[in-house]
Amino acid sequence: MNVSKDLVAASATPLILAILKENDSYGYAIIKRVKEMSENQLIWTEGMLYPVLHRLEEHRLIESYSSKSEAGRQRKYYRIKESGLTELELQKKQWEIVHNALDRTWNEESNS
Amino acid sequence: MFDLETQIHSWSDHLRTHGNLSDADIHELENHLRDEIEDLIATGLTPDEAFLISVKRLGNVDAISHEFAKVNTENLWRHLLVEPVDSLAKQLNRRDITLVVIFALLAGTLVKLPELFGFGLLDQDGEIKMFFIKNFSFFILPFIAAFFLIKRKSELKTWATILGIFILAAVIINMYPSFDPHNTEVLTIVHLPLFLWLVVGVTYIGREWQGSLGRMNFIRFTGEAFIYGVLVMAGVMVLFLFTLGIFQAIQIDIGKFLAEYLLIYGGCAAAMITVYLVEAKKSVVENFAPILAKIFSPLFLIIMVAFLIVMMITGNSPFMERDFLIGFDFMLALVLGLVLYVISARDIRQPANLFDYLNLALIMAALVIDGVALSAILFRLSAFGVTPNKLAALGENLALLGNLAGLAWLYIGYFRKKFDFTKIIKWQTDYLYVYFIWTAIVAFIFPIVFRFN
């Protein structure tokens, strides 16, 4: 099933922050991780991911550094910052509010 | 055979020219592509299959750059001045801007300094003194050289060598006497900046100054600096005229003040800013210079062929005056400039295209016209004797002619697939030595040979 564009965009920030909280990562690995976590339902494009990463970096929620990959290539890694962790907690709460509200209304629907 | 590296390079080059992407973005995307390819190869695909699929998955360039553009909303000019996200790059950029400001002020002050000791810029007739014209290069070029030496983190030894050359050159040309009719002095004035610019080139290229890649970058830099310089200077002139105009409206004449401060400091600042701009954002003009060349090289070709035809039909020989030789030097330099703009912007991996053939045609036309001119002039030289001006003009002509002839020969070989394009670039970058040596000879040795006349 295709997840709507708006929803993908809205969920991008918390997902990236959550993945970076696990460990530092880079663009290609993040896309793979999202795909894996969503059981192949969320396929992000590079055109979407990198701009979001750069915006998060600009807002100082994450930071980047370059490091050599196993193959010996210079790669840009991203690391979550203290403010990013705070932001993630905030986003989590917001999503919980939405999630709970949806959950309740849908349950009521099926109960009535 | 499929060469993965070449393909990846062409892909990122394509991204660079067609997208609204910064170098860091492109580097990141290229890495992404490589990751994808590696993964696909690991699953058993061949490199070419993996490449095709990865490129397809990344999506077309327009779509990518459109997404990026939402973040990179800075347009062209903001792109130049707004600091990039990267914090290290930001610091470096700030340092560069500080250097530009300091050096521009220093250079301007250096021009004004002699005035404090009663040696003003202008003489009684309101003309700029010979001393300033002769030493013009020394007021600004050392600062540009220093800018690059700092930027390239050059070693102390390089600093000493470059500084030594500047000081030595300054001492020599100011010690030389000059007698009427000042021919050699004028020649020195013309050739010294060219010579010193090539010295600046060494600082621009940095460590790899012996490699043809670095030198090609310098040739490109020269061409772009020229375009930027004209634009920035035009801005300074507009500012000058505008200020003059509005103050005149309230009956205050500030022409003298402006000429003494705004033009001097503005001129120095324009030079430094030009250098900074070209260096900071290489890709902006990179797309612009070749377009200019592509518009004008066909037009020049038409004019030159028309000239040849008319000359042959009418039988008029226009080469009776030696002044014309200088005119033909300019023609050759112009053709060389056009050809270089096209070559420098060219991707060496691309096959020959229409503009390469056009380049060759342009060179050939220039060679034929110059051949006719030279034969006429050589005859006159032998008949009327040698003067420094004639010899300098002739030397320039031969140097440029040699350069273009070499290019033509290599181009032909390249079209016949005898060797690849890198050979053309190597020839051009090696040829810089000839200009270096020739300008040094005219600037420093001619005065001695011709007894400072």
Q: How confident is the model at residue B202 (pLDDT cuts 50, 70, 90)?
A: confident
Q: How far is CA B105 from the centre of its chain?
A: 24
- Please check whether residues B121 and B49 belong to one and the same domain: no
How far is residue B318's CA from residue B307's CA, in Å, rounded to a whole number? 11
Q: Which residue has the higher pLDDT, B114 or B196?
A: B196
Which residue does chain A place closest to B70, by CA atoms? A51
Give me the mean pLDDT over the A85-90 stretch. Answer: 91
Residue B49 lies in a domain: yes
Residue B79 lies in a domain: no
Contact A46, B29 (CB under 8 A): yes
pLDDT tens digit string along B155-174?
888 899 899 999 998 888 88
Q: Report whether pLDDT(B287) > 90.
A: no
- Please check whether residues B213 and B158 belong to one and the same domain: yes
Q: How confident is the model at residue B228 (pLDDT cuts 50, 70, 90)?
A: confident
Contacts 24+ apart (CB under 8 A), B85-91: B85/A54, B85/A57, B85/A58, B85/B24, B86/A64, B86/B24, B89/B24
Residue B448 lies in a domain: no
How far is residue B341's CA from residue A5's CA, in Å, rounded to a whole number? 45
How far is residue B391's CA from residue B386's CA, in Å, rounded to a whole number? 7
Residues 407-446 of B with CB under 8 A from A: none
Q: How confident is the model at residue B422 (pLDDT cuts 50, 70, 90)?
A: confident
Residue B345 lies in a domain: yes
Which residue does chain A place closest to B73, by CA atoms? A51
DSSP B59-128: --HHHHHHHHHHH----HHHHHHSPPS-HHHHHHHHHHHHHHHHHHHHHHHHHHHHHHTT--SB-TTSPB
Q: Report whether pLDDT(B248) > 80.
A: yes
Q: How confident is the model at residue A93 (pLDDT cuts 50, 70, 90)?
A: very high
- Please check whether residues B302 and B275 belong to one and the same domain: no
- Please check whether residues B180 and B138 belong to one and the same domain: yes
What's the pLDDT score for residue B89?
63
Looking at B219, B249, B284, the residue that finishes a domain is: B284
How far is residue B98's CA from residue B96's CA, in Å, rounded to a whole number? 5
3-state class of B205 per DSSP?
Answer: helix
Single-letter amino acid code for the residue at B283: S
- Please check whether residues B249 and B346 belong to one and the same domain: no
The reply to whether residue B31 touches residue A58, judged by beta carbons under 8 angstroms, is: no
pLDDT tens digit string along B132-160?
778 888 888 999 999 988 888 888 888 99
Is the C-alpha dihedral spanning A30, A32, A35, A36 positive or negative?
negative
Q: Is the ipTM of this complex over 0.95?
A: no
Q: Which residue has the higher pLDDT, B196 or B54?
A: B196
Give me the mean pLDDT over the B20-31 stretch. Answer: 78
Instruction: State whether residue B71 sits within 8 Å of chain A by CB.
Output: yes
What's the pLDDT score for residue B321?
59
- Please check whether residues B17 and B34 belong to one and the same domain: yes
Residues 77-136 of B with CB under 8 A from A: 85-86
Contacts of A75 in chain B (CB under 8 A): 31
Q: How confident is the model at residue B304 (pLDDT cuts 50, 70, 90)?
A: confident
Q: Provide the domain count of chain B.
A: 3
Give me the mean pLDDT over the A94-103 stretch. Answer: 92
What's the pLDDT score for residue B308?
84
The reply to whether residue B58 touches residue A46, judged by beta carbons under 8 angstroms, is: yes
Which residue does chain B place closest to A73, by CA atoms? B31
- Please check whether residues B378 and B296 belong to one and the same domain: yes
Looking at B284, B319, B344, the residue that finishes a domain is: B284
- Please check whether residues B311 and B400 belong to one and the same domain: yes
How far is residue B429's CA from residue B210's CA, in Å, rounded to a whole number? 9
Taken in order of first residue, the domains within chain A and their CATH numbers are 5-111 (1.10.10.10)
The reply to whether residue A76 touches residue B25, judged by beta carbons under 8 angstroms, is: no
Contacts of A50 in chain B (CB under 8 A): 25, 28-29, 67-68
What's the pLDDT score for residue B87?
54
Domain of B69 in residue numbering reads as 4-73
The reply to whether residue B32 touches residue A71, judged by beta carbons under 8 angstroms, is: no
Contacts of B38 in chain A (CB under 8 A): 71
Identify the residue among A26, A28, A63, A64 best suited for mutation to test binding to B, counting B beta carbons within 10 A and taking the highest. Answer: A28
What's the pLDDT score for residue B82?
42
Instruction: State whether residue B23 sits within 8 Å of chain A by CB.
Output: no
Contact A61, A87 (CB under 8 A): yes
pLDDT tens digit string along B359-398?
899 999 988 888 877 877 777 777 777 778 778 888 888 8
- Please check whether residues B187 and B295 belong to one and the same domain: no
Helices (H), A59-81: none
> Out of B6-10, B54-58, B59-63, which region has the weakest mean confidence (pLDDT)?
B59-63
CA proximity to B276, closest of B124, B22, B103: B103
What's the pLDDT score for residue B80?
40
Residue B449 lies in a domain: no
DSSP B287-336: TTHHHHHHHHHHHHHHHHHHHHHHHHHH------STHHHHHHHHHHHHHH
What's the pLDDT score for residue A112?
60
What's the pLDDT score for residue A30?
92
Residue B453 lies in a domain: no
pLDDT tens digit string along B87-105?
566 677 788 888 889 998 8
Residue from the list B24, B28, B63 with its beta carbon closest to the beta carbon of A47: B63
Which residue does chain B place closest to A55, by CA atoms? B71
For B59, left (φ over 0), alpha (ψ -120 to 50), or beta?
left
Residue from the list A26, A50, A73 with its beta carbon closest to the beta carbon of B25: A50
Looking at B16, B45, B73, the residue that finishes a domain is: B73
Residue from the list B25, B35, B85 with its beta carbon closest to the beta carbon of A28: B35
* Exposure of B414 in the CB half-sphere (CA atoms within 13 A): 23
Angle between helices B432-440 and B422-430 (to 10 degrees): 10
Instruction: State whether residue A28 sits within 8 Å of chain B by CB.
Output: yes
CA proximity to B344, closest of B400, B396, B285, B296: B285
How far is residue B239's CA from residue A51's CA, in Å, rounded to a whole number? 39
How far is residue B324's CA from residue A25's CA, in Å, rounded to a whole number? 67
The reply to whether residue A28 touches residue B64, judged by beta carbons under 8 angstroms, is: no
Tokens of B80: 């130049």
- Please check whether residues B276 and B355 belong to one and the same domain: no
Contacts of A58 in chain B (CB under 8 A): 85
How far is residue B405's CA from residue B102's CA, in Å, rounded to a whole number? 44
* Helix or strand holding residue B157 (H, E): helix B156-175
How far is residue B405's CA from residue B366's CA, in Å, rounded to a whole number? 10
The reply to whether residue A74 touches residue B31, judged by beta carbons under 8 angstroms, is: yes
How far is residue B380's CA from residue B423's CA, in Å, rounded to a whole number? 37
Residue B141 lies in a domain: yes
- Please check whether residues B186 and B264 belong to one and the same domain: yes
- Please check whether residues B154 and B174 belong to one and the same domain: yes
Residue B379 lies in a domain: yes
Q: Which residue has the higher pLDDT, B22 or B198?
A: B198
The reply to whether residue B67 touches residue A71, judged by beta carbons under 8 angstroms, is: no
Contact B6, B55 (CB under 8 A): no
How far is residue B390's CA from residue B312's CA, in Å, rounded to a whole number? 26
Is the C-alpha dihedral spanning B312, B317, B319, B324 positive or negative?
negative
Contacts of B88 in chain A (CB under 8 A): none
How far is residue B434's CA from residue A89's CA, in Å, rounded to a whole number? 67
